[in-house]
Structure 1
Amino acid sequence: MILVTGGTGLVGSHLLYFLLKENTTVRAIHRKNSDMQAVKKVFALYTSEVDSLFNKIEWVAADIIDIPALTEAFKNITTVYHCAAIINFETSKYSLLKKINEEGTANIVNICLSNHVEKLCYVSSVATLGSNLNNRLVNEENPWNPDEKNNVYAITKYAAEMQVWRGTQEGLNAVIVNPGVILGVSPDDGGSSRIISLGKRGVSYYPSGTMGIVDVKDVVKAMKALMESEIVNQQFILVGENIPYKELLSKLAILFGTKPPTKKLSKRLMLFLSGMDWLSNKLFNTDRSIPKSMVRAMFKTSNYDSSKIKNTLNFEFTPTEETLKRVAEAYKKSLN
């Protein structure tokens, strides 16, 4: 039996559909307050038989930091897809991120070992990879640099990777995928939904940076292919295209019939607004909306090399235009 953590998230929900499509027996972990019914929104993108497919999932309420509940959820499990994580860039959330991303992954690894699980797939991020000089492509060999201005999300995801590698030293077979910004319809309207919303609304300004993007369907396809292969104890970058923010926002604006951005955003202004955002948080306990790490990312040129997954599995990524068109159409339907 297959176990999926984070089944109500972006990657987990799409993964569940494609596993169930093959009549695979699947158990999925969810937190007690999570909205499992939102997963049906994702299933509806692919099939009209939403309920019959959804009801095949064996849902188990188990937080990944709740070891007794996790131990129960692992009974008769042979393979594990670990998708659960918290994405947040606020330094004040470090303890929570460490608890879920790092310690939660350590729990998954430990129980995999004690239950002799055959293979684990961990969903990490390109945020754990080091930078390259002169804007050269970053690949899997670029080491983590602790001296860089790494955000708290990246720090805890890297620590989680170290837990997986520690598990491999103790006998666990594992693969790690490092996706860029994942584009797709999410059950909870999180993640890349914010970028889609900007394109839908239309913005005048754009930051000068670039990012690596990937279709959620490609992430799922790569994970399944790696788990079904004999490949173990390796990691793979999953980026379909390296794209400037301006180009991505412009493509989205055209699809939604809004005005593409034409004015370059000032980094100095954004850092000032980030400072005001920090002050508001301290004085009035408001949520941070522009953490400094986010500003740095908006103006950073980040280009990634996915040739390893392409060469190893003869893997082909979905063209960006096809992904954006599909996602935009899904968002338009959700508004009607």
Structure 2
Amino acid sequence: MIFVTGGSGLVGSFLIAELIARGESVRALYRGENTPQIPGADQVEWVSGDLRDALGLRVALAGVTHVFHCAGLVSYAPQDETALQQINVEGTANVVDACLERPGIRLGYVSSVAALGSKPGEQPTGTVQLDESAKWDLGAEHNAYATSKYLAELEVWRGIAEGLQAVAVNPSVILGPADWNRSSTRLFRYVYNQHAFYTPGNINVVDVRDVVDMLVRLTLDTTISGERYVLSAQAIPLHEFLGQAAACFRRKAPTVAVPEWAAETIWRFEHVRSVLTGARPLITKDTARAGRHPVEYSALKVQRVLGQSFRPVANTIAWCCEELMAKKQPTKQVA
């Protein structure tokens, strides 16, 4: 029996489909009143619950041999800092504790490249190369999301120190045909709605199918423990990414680069608006500055271990566009 958290999310939904295709028995955690409507949902034993419910997680792990912890909150909005701590950090601690109570369970944890930090003494000039050896700089400024993923990873390492068999993957921006308004799919929605502006810089991306395949192989097909693996196919200029998606959609690509001073001004106005109205900011300090100092994540380690390469980004973009177009088209709104 395999237990999956975040089964309705981008990674979780593709993971469940892969596990079912392998003939595995799957139990999955979900929140809300209705069970998630994903491919293979009728073959899943769904458990209504919350990562913050430590007792509920212990009960849910009865008879389980493997756990895939995919659930987590991705947000750069200031008002979500408490939720990031509760869901990403405390939630992961609860998953680890529940696993430790049942010796023999093996954990596959979906972290993020955000948890890597930076190389000691690395200066933000030129392209920064990062891999699994990067160390978290406690003296540096980190956004709340990155901090929550770093602290969540510490909980996994704590579990490993206490005897848990676990492996972690650190994906970059995961591309897949999820809901138009969720996850990285909002990038495709932005292109489809033909917005004119883009921010200069690079974006590191990886196909959700590669993330799932490598996560499953590392967790189910190996006995590796105490290791983490960067999963990233390529660092691509954001303008190029948006242009490729626009071509696939046959829409007009963004053409106006937002200068640094404008982005700095906009996020400040958005912060004030958010404080005064309680609405979520359309752009935050972290998103405005993302990509300003180019970073490229190296995934050579996982490719050496599994002997597997990543799908070309152009193929992933084309696949996402085709699958999204087969779904209900997005409403016109600000990304």
TM score, norm. by length of structure 2: 0.93
TM score, norm. by length of structure 1: 0.92
* CA distance in structure 2 between the aligned counterparts of 1:118 and 1:249, rounded to whole angstroms: 42
What runs of 5+ residues in structure 2 fail to find an aligned partner?
A: 330-335
* CA distance in structure 2 between the aligned counterparts of 1:232 and 1:194, rounded to whole angstroms: 34
* Aligned position for 1:59: 46
For the 8 Å contact 2:66–2:105, the answer to whether it is kept is yes
Return structure 1 stretches of 4+ with deviation > 6 angstroms.
none
DSSP 3-state at the match of 2:130? coil
* Aligned position for 1:50: none
DSSP 3-state at the match of 2:296? coil
Aligned equivalent of 1:129, options 110, 113, 116? 116
Aligned residue identity for 2:16: L
For the 8 Å contact 1:208–1:300, the answer to whether it is kept is no
* Aligned position for 1:221: 213
Change (3 A) 1:100 1:188: farther
* CA distance in structure 2 between the aligned counterparts of 1:283 and 1:24, rounded to whole angstroms: 50
CA deviations on 1:302-325 (whole Å, 9 max, x unpaired) are: 211000001111111011111111
Query: Number of aligned pairs?
Result: 323
* Aligned position for 1:48: none
* CA distance in structure 1 between the aligned counterparts of 2:34 and 2:166, rounded to whole angstroms: 27
Q: CA deviation at 1:199?
A: 1.9
* Aligned position for 2:20: 20
Aligned residue identity for 2:164: L
* Aligned position for 1:93: 80
Aligned equivalent of 2:227, options 227, 234, 250? 234
Q: CA deviation at 1:291?
A: 1.1
Change (3 A) 1:300 1:203: farther
For the 8 Å contact 2:68–2:107, the answer to whether it is kept is yes
Farther off after superposition, 132-141 or 71-80: 132-141
Q: CA deviation at 1:149?
A: 2.6
* CA distance in structure 1 between the aligned counterparts of 2:34 and 2:226, rounded to whole angstroms: 32
Q: CA deviation at 1:56?
A: 1.2
* Aligned position for 2:333: none
Normalized per residue, the structure richer in helix is 1
For the 8 Å contact 1:9–1:187, the answer to whether it is kept is no
* Aligned position for 2:305: 312
Aligned equivalent of 1:325, options 269, 294, 318? 318
Q: Superposed, which structure 2 residues align to 1:283-322 within 5 Å? A: 283-322=276-315
Aligned equivalent of 1:247, options 240, 263, 285? 240
Aligned equivalent of 1:158, options 145, 150, 157? 150
Aligned equivalent of 1:191, options 183, 187, 204? 183
CA RMSD of aligned residues (A): 1.5
* Aligned position for 1:268: 261
Q: CA deviation at 1:301?
A: 1.1
* Aligned position for 1:210: 202
Percentage identity across paired residues of the two chains? 34
Aligned residue identity for 1:119: R
For the 8 Å contact 1:280–1:286, the answer to whether it is kept is yes
* CA distance in structure 2 between the aligned counterparts of 1:307 and 1:173, rounded to whole angstroms: 23
Q: CA deviation at 1:329?
A: 0.5
Q: CA deviation at 1:223?
A: 0.4
Aligned residue identity for 1:257: R
Aligned residue identity for 2:170: N
